[in-house]
A = this chain, B = another copy of it.
């Protein structure tokens, strides 16, 4: 398999959004995705880009993504938040996720981030095992709070 891991480009966004939809299905929230390619173009490549990403590509198809943004912690300072890391089902357990995660760590160090931060669903045992192997601190004490804006 000739899998290419590289920085994400504008042309990758339809493939990225397809994987985001696949993740939402897996996370039992298929209707929660309101994002679109047009919005992603603006938020990733517009005047004030918010997110950046890496992709895993095989035969010109996006089979894996890691999407992140610069975050801030009043306790620790600048950090890099991993909003999503997704490998399409067929290609899991082949080390692609680890390669994408390593690039995320590299990117974080490059911007002087003091902390990596992300979330995982409490029933996603496979992902939790993966993160434990990376020596992540996993805590149930923090509740997630959200308000959607119209």
Question: A78 contacts B43, CB within 8 Å?
Answer: yes
Closest to A71 in B: B69
Q: A113–B43 Cα gap in the complex (Å)?
A: 11
Q: Which of B74, B109, B121 contacts A149 (CB 8 A)?
A: B109
Chain A 63-81 interface residues, beta-carbon cutoff 8 Å to B: 67, 69-78, 81
Number of chain copies forming the complex: 2
User: A135 at interface (Cβ–Cβ under 8 A)?
Assistant: yes
Q: Which of B35, B76, B123, B131 contacts A77 (CB 8 A)?
A: B35
Q: Which A residues fall within an 8 A CB radius of B? A: 16, 20, 23-24, 29, 32-35, 39-40, 43, 48, 50-51, 67, 69-78, 81, 83-84, 105, 108-109, 113-123, 128, 131, 134-149
Q: Which of B76, B128, B134 contacts A143 (CB 8 A)?
A: B128
Closest to A147 in B: B116
